[in-house]
Amino acid sequence: MTKITVDNLSKAYPVAVKAAGMAGTLRHFFQRTYRLVEAVKQISFQVYPGEVVGFLGPNGAGKTTTLKMLTGLIHPSSGQVNVAGHVPFQRDAAFLRQITLVMGQKQQLLWDLPALDSLRINAAIYGLSAKEFHYRVHELAEMLSLREQLNQPVRKLSLGERMKAEMLAALLHRPQVLFLDEPTLGLDVNAQVAVRNFLLEYNRRYQATVLLTSHYMADITALCRRVLLIHRGQLIYDGSLEGLLSRFAPYREVKLDLESPVEAEHLRAYGEVESLQGCTASLIVRREALTQTVSRLLADLAVQDLRVTDPPIEEVIGRVFQAGTVA
């Protein structure tokens, strides 16, 4: 059973085309011509209950457009979507009770009022009783470490506190499907970690399904085992994050601190020498030969310290988008 099913989903926007100059302006005023811009092109995927899936792509790739179609904010040009047993753009009340959309650059809390007043409005919209409201606010505020700040005007909260309050407001009705568009945008490192930990706990406690977009790769590596990559409106990868790294980063970096200097020629027997300075060396080794190579290094050389690292995930993802394909 799937929680989200997307089948050949597409969205195209008509964009008016105007020639330069006065003649072009007059022609545009009386007889407009349009061209179609395809924001999303026949993408298909499924997300299962309880999954946390990263949805990645460069700016303008179609991520936010897809999320808006999945939440029913815009109507697809073609294709089919089913979220939690509902067709999103029909906007059924039962559907809206099961989902939420959090956009890092948007806010729903009233600026000059305490966050708690906005939460009461949300509770009334979703028909929560006073008992349910107080229990859920207490529970989520404890998870977010946000109890005292709820009584302060939103404008007096820090950006991190405001984002936490926005998250609380979005989850007050306890949705089972979370669409998160840059939820840690602009937050400092500590606030980002707090939001990630909260999302992990919410997913664990309620088995919520999460589709997450973020330009912070730390969000993806901390929360997602599976990723979808979209490029120029097309889905180019659907699989595990580990599989993506294995495919596009087939090498590991082995850094060595040796007791005495070694010639570069001698180190080339173990891998490609990336750098060598005194007793410190860096080798590039293929993943499949890593275990054997490390064993040989420790047996053959006087090694004081050895570290194995992956290339930065940002570098790997950027390489995929530059290629535009995973084929």
Could you report the per-residue pLDDT of 45-85, keeping only the tens digit for each?
999 999 999 999 988 899 999 999 999 999 999 999 999 99
Q: How far is CA 232 from CA 14, 61, 104, in A?
A: 17, 5, 22
Residues near 207 by Cβ (< 8 Å), separated by ≥ 6? Answer: 49, 50, 176
pLDDT for residue 325? 66
Supply the pLDDT for residue 281.
Answer: 92
Q: Which range (261-270, 278-287, 304-313) has the least confidence?
A: 304-313
Distance (Å, whole) CA 213 – CA 220? 8
Structure tokens at 49: 């209950």
Please state the rounded mean pLDDT for residues 189-197: 90
Integer Cα distance of 213 and 20 in angstroms: 38
Phi, psi of 34 (to 5 degrees): -130, 155
What's the pTM?
0.81
Percentage of the chain exceeding pLDDT 70:
98
Would the pLDDT of 327 be above 80? no
Distance between CA atoms of residues 28 and 122, nearest Å: 45
pLDDT for 103-127, tens place per residue? 877 888 999 999 999 999 999 999 9
For residue 147, the model assigns a pLDDT of 84
Residue 307 confidence (pLDDT): 92
Q: What is the amino acid identity at position 119?
A: L
Where exactly are the structural domains of the chain? Answer: 4-245, 251-309
Say whether pLDDT at 326 is over 70.
no
What lies within 8 Å, CB to CB, of 221 at 6+ separation is 241, 313
Q: Three-state secondary structure along the chain?
A: CCCEEEEEEEEEEEEEECCCHHHHHHHHHHCCEEEEEEEEEEEEEEECCCCEEEEECCCCCCHHHHHHHHCCCCCCCEEEEEECCECHHHCCHHHHCCEEEEECCCCCCCCCCEHHHHHHHHHHHCCCCHHHHHHHHHHHHHHHCCCHHHHCEHHHCCHHHHHHHHHHHHHCCCCCEEEEECCCCCCCHHHHHHHHHHHHHHHHHHCCEEEEECCCHHHHHHHCCEEEEEECCEEEEEEEHHHHHHHHCCEEEEEEEECCCCCHHHHCCCCEEEEEECCEEEEEEEHHHHHHHHHHHHHHCCEEEEEEECCCHHHHHHHHHHHCCCC
pLDDT-derived band at 9 (thresholds 50, 70, 90) equals: very high
pLDDT band, residue 297 (cuts 50/70/90)? very high
Please say if the pLDDT value at position 25 is more than 70. yes
- Categorize the per-residue pLDDT at 202 as very low, low, confident or very high, splitting at 50, 70 and 90: very high
- Note the pLDDT of residue 4: 97
* pLDDT for position 23: 84
> pLDDT at position 16, please?
86
251-309, what's its fold? Alpha-Beta Plaits (3.30.70)
**If you count them, how many residues does the chain have?**
327
95, 84 Cβ separation under 8 angstroms: yes
Give pLDDT, residue 324.
66
pLDDT of residue 30: 83
303 vs 260: CA distance, rounded Å = 9
User: Of 62-66, 127-131, 181-185, where does mean pLDDT reach its minimum?
Assistant: 181-185
Burial of 89 (0-12, 13-18, 19+ CB in 10 A): middle
CATH class of domain segment(s) 4-245: alpha beta
Whole-number pLDDT of residue 115:
93
Averaged pLDDT of the chain: 90
Cβ-contact 180, 222 below 8 angstroms: no
Tell me if 21 sits within 8 A of 194, measured CB to CB: no
